[in-house]
Structure 1
Amino acid sequence: MSFLVAAGPGAITEREKSMENVVVVVGGAGGIGAACAQEFRDQGRTVVLVDRALGHDASDPDSVRRALQDVPSVTALVHAAGSVGSGGIDGLDLVQWRRVLDDNLTSAAVVSQQVLPRMPRGGSVVLFSSVNGRHGGNRLSGPAYAAAKAAIIGLTRHLAKDQGPRGVRVNALAPGPVSTPMLHRLSETEIDRLRAAMPLGELTTPEEVAGTVAFLCSPAAASITGTVIDMNGGSWMG
């Protein structure tokens, strides 16, 4: 992409203008993250991706710092990265446990730590919990995933209280089954069982999630912080 320099004293470049409205999307190379990235691009916002597929480790502060070294200001952060496990506590695999917690929870904390100092008043953060973090999950995704996604809710509320005086809002989404590769790893029978537990009976699309994320990052949500929005077709109504 090329940038034009405006004429006249004190003029700023188009690049400088674009950097005034930057959205960082973690996990933006696929699934929900890719849909969020496209939603913000369609709004004309500059999107910066942090993703393992691009060589980034979102749970490593040095890796995140390098990914953001040319990004002085961030108006919105969307953390949509994560991974699932499987099984129950009887077969607990500590390697899997640590990986799932790092991918979902540690990375959210690390990226928030790196981005929030770059975020001015009016900024917005959206983290991703899950219906599994609401109702305890199951053996399809495992205990680590349920624990990590429940902890995301606690992290969201902590950050909302901590950053509120700065005028920065922090919220979370807790989707149910979303039609992404993370869900497609399951068999048709398993997916049908999940769908049957949803009063609406339909899987959520990544674009639906992205639309809700965009709302949370918009002026229309200026008074919303510390909130968890459930998008699960009615499978959990707590």
Structure 2
Amino acid sequence: MFALDGVHAVVTGAARGIGLATATALAAQGAEVTLIDRDAVALTALDSPHRTIALDVTDHDALADAVRTSLADGPGHAVLVNNAALLDTTPLAELTPERWERVHAVNLTAALTTIRAAIAPMRARGGRIVNVASVAGRQGGGLLGTAAYASSKAGLISLTRSAARELATEGITVNAVAPGPVDTGLINDQDPELLRRILAAVPVGRLGTAEDIAAAVCFLASAEANWITGAVLDVNGGALMA
């Protein structure tokens, strides 16, 4: 796919789903990957040859330290993938400030923390930051992901572009991938009728896979994407057109 020999990468929310597929794909291309997730049991069960760190991404001091340490060395450019996310389908009328703040803390503020922590090590040798947003952030929600989730992902897209502008002269690119409905546990736990409606909204006729998203992330993390910044790559089977 894209050679990443000598690259040090950090992936948040990496114990399963898109995060795990992304970490696996980056490693397959030669990167040394640090997997961060709050689920210590799941990380241990991976039996990964790569470094794993169990922490909640809302613990901002611990998260920043983990990113700085993981990206400190390496001959190649550094890579940060902000994938950790909390899906929320709470109707607007029932959405409490506490729930709103928790979703934004995981989906948006944690990304700000990691990006800030990555700047110094990336300045030394260049960097690629890839934020995993969502089609919900492009559409204002939809069949999955209501106000809190959609606004957090829209905020992540805006943060991507703001960071891209500020960091472009530092040798750091910042891009986002916006997945549509992906065949993971989050989707499979939904009501069968809702699943049918979700699938009907995807023109190519299937759900995405975690590997579909990981491939897009690997491209944006590679040297081949060194003139792409501030972009949002829609990987959704055409769902944004529907």
Name the TM-score class by shorter chain: 0.7 to 0.9
Asked whether the equivalents of residues 87 and 140 of structure 1 are also in contact (C-alpha less than 8 Å), the reply is: no
Closer/same/farther in 2, CA of residues 205 and 131 from structure 1, 3 Å limit: same
Would you say 1:48 and 2:47 are equivalent positions? no
| Cα distance in 2 for residues equivalent to 1:97 and 1:185 | 22
| Cα distance in 2 for residues equivalent to 1:48 and 1:180 | 22
Query: How large is the RMSD of aligned CA atoms in angstroms?
Result: 2.0
Write the letter of the residue equivalent to 1:65.
A
2:58 corresponds in structure 1 to 59
CA-to-aligned-CA distance 1:124-160 (integer Å, 9 cap, x gap): 0000111100111136422100100000111000110
1:122 to 93, 111, 126: 126
1:173 to 177, 195, 202: 177
Write the letter of the residue equivalent to 2:160.
T
Would you say 1:159 and 2:163 are equivalent positions? yes
| Cα distance in 1 for residues equivalent to 2:218 and 2:234 | 15
Write the letter of the residue equivalent to 1:52.
R
| Cα distance in 2 for residues equivalent to 1:90 and 1:160 | 35
Would you say 1:217 and 2:203 are equivalent positions? no
TM-score, normalised to structure 1, is 0.87
Aligned with 2:39: secondary structure?
helix
Query: What is the CA-CA distance between 1:84 and the residue it aligns to?
Result: 1.2
Asked whether the equivalents of residues 175 and 232 of structure 1 are also in contact (C-alpha less than 8 Å), the reply is: yes
Where do residues 13-52 of structure 1 align in structure 2 (5 Å cutoff)? 20-52=6-38
Where do residues 226-237 of structure 1 align in structure 2 (5 Å cutoff)? 226-237=230-241
CA-to-aligned-CA distance 1:78-103 (integer Å, 9 cap, x gap): 11110111232211222221111111
| Cα distance in 2 for residues equivalent to 1:95 and 1:219 | 41
Q: Which runs of 5+ in 2 are unaligned?
A: 41-53
Write the letter of the residue equivalent to 1:155.
L
| Cα distance in 2 for residues equivalent to 1:184 and 1:45 | 31
1:95 to 87, 95, 98: 98
2:200 to 196, 199, 215: 196
1:142 corresponds in structure 2 to 146
Aligned with 1:173: secondary structure?
strand
| Cα distance in 2 for residues equivalent to 1:184 and 1:109 | 30
| Cα distance in 2 for residues equivalent to 1:19 and 1:227 | 24
1:111 corresponds in structure 2 to 114
Aligned with 2:58: secondary structure?
coil
Aligned with 1:100: secondary structure?
helix
Aligned with 1:47: secondary structure?
strand
Q: How many equivalent pairs are there?
A: 221
Displaced runs of 4+ in structure 1, greater than 6 A? none
1:9 corresponds in structure 2 to none
Asked whether the equivalents of residues 88 and 139 of structure 1 are also in contact (C-alpha less than 8 Å), the reply is: no
2:47 corresponds in structure 1 to none
